[in-house]
């Protein structure tokens, strides 16, 4: 997925800003940060988030977000780690900061609705074409 497909590019922590009741200027500040990928793509698989299904963004207790498909992998890895040691499955943890995820299933991890709204909004914006930044019809 290309960064040029999206109007803004940040480190992918949009949900954390919204859920922390950020000030109105906070989003502008984040959008001015150096690009490390799009806020509209999963930081694990680098695929664009989707409004539903496997690519739906889920927000962890620590504020990081990742797609449902990658979250399935996080839960599977935690389960396998416990099975390899002959003990109960270990608790899944955020792949970025290792904070424990208390939820017992991917479906129990909340959807990041502010990020879903951004996805839907970005999809409604006409894409720029060519170097001039204009649209195809003008």
Q: Residue 26: which CATH number?
A: 3.30.40.10
117 within domain boundaries: yes
Q: In the structure, what pLDDT confidence band is assigned to residue 20 with cuts at 50, 70 and 90? A: very low
The Cα–Cα gap between 97 and 116 comes to 23
Q: Is residue 131 part of a domain?
A: no
Strand-pairing partners, residue 93, are 100
Note whether 37 and 24 are within 8 A (CB): no
The overall average pLDDT reported for the chain is 75
**CA 103 from centroid of its chain's CA atoms:** 18
Tally of domains in the chain: 1
**CB 81, CB 90: distance < 8 Å:** yes
Asked if residue 132 is part of any domain, the answer here is no
Does residue 111 fall inside a structural domain? yes
* Residue 16: domain span: 3-124
Does the residue 71 lie in any domain?
A: yes
Tell whether 137 is covered by a domain: no
Cβ pair 46, 1 in contact under 8 A = yes
As given in the structure block, the two tokens for residue 48 are 């664009």
In a domain, 79, yes or no: yes
Give burial (CB, 10 Å; 0-12/13-18/19+) of 90.
Answer: middle
User: Which tens digit of pLDDT belongs to each residue from 39-93?
Assistant: 899 999 999 999 999 999 999 999 999 999 999 999 999 888 776 666 666 889 9
Query: Is 11 a member of any domain?
Result: yes
């Amino acid at each position: 997925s290309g960064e040029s497909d999206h109007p803004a590019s940040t480190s992918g922590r949009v949900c954390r800003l919204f859920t922390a009741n950020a000030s109105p200027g906070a989003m502008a500040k984040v959008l001015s940060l150096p690009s490390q990928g799009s806020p509209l793509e999963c930081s694990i698989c680098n695929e664009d988030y989707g409004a539903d299904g496997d690519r739906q963004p889920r927000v962890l207790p620590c504020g990081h977000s990742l797609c449902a498909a990658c979250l399935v992998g996080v839960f599977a890895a935690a389960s396998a780690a416990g099975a390899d040691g002959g003990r109960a499955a270990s608790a899944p943890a955020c792949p970025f900061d290792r904070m424990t995820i208390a939820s017992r299933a991917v479906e129990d991890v909340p959807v990041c609705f502010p990020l879903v709204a951004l996805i839907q909004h970005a999809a409604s914006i006409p894409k720029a074409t060519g170097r001039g930044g204009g649209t195809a019809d003008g």
